[in-house]
Amino acid sequence: MTVEANESYYAVIFSSQRTEGDNGYGRMADRMEQLAAEQPGFLGVESVRDAAGSGITISYWDSLEAIRNWKENPLHQTAQEKGKQDWYHNYNVKICKVERAYSSN
């Protein structure tokens, strides 16, 4: 992801605990990552899940409007419903404004 330091952008932090079994999750997760990447204002995503099912996914967007549009995308809404019902014991979402960023290389 290439973002100039003086542009403002946003992060959506999604922390979750997966239920047991796949139940169609893997396929939908791949689809959602692909679909998100096609949305206006999408800047990038990073995602980690450990063997015990704890996960953090952070997607980056250029505006709050882009985040809202993605949340309301019909296919994404279907995925969100399945997430609530089948895939996550629990999750939380935080919408953040990135104020500063630096990296080791």
d(CA 8, CA 75) in angstroms, rounded, equals: 28
5 lies in the site for a second copy, by CB under 8 A: no
72 lies in the site for a second copy, by CB under 8 A: no
Interface residue with a second copy, options 49, 69, 73, 82 (CB under 8 A): 49
d(CA 94, CA 11) in angstroms, rounded, equals: 8
Q: Encoding tokens for residue 36?
A: 């998100």
Q: Which residues of 24-53 are buried (b: 16+ CB within 10 A; e: fewer)?
A: ebeebbeebeebbeeeebbbebeeeeeeee
Residues 15-44 binding a second copy (CB under 8 A) are 15
What is the closest distance, in whole angstroms, from the C-beta atom of residue 89 to a second copy in the complex? 8
What is the closest distance, in whole angstroms, from the C-beta atom of residue 43 to a second copy in the complex? 12
Q: Which residues bind a second copy (CB under 8 A)?
A: 10-11, 13, 15, 46, 48-51, 54-56, 58, 64, 84, 88, 90-105
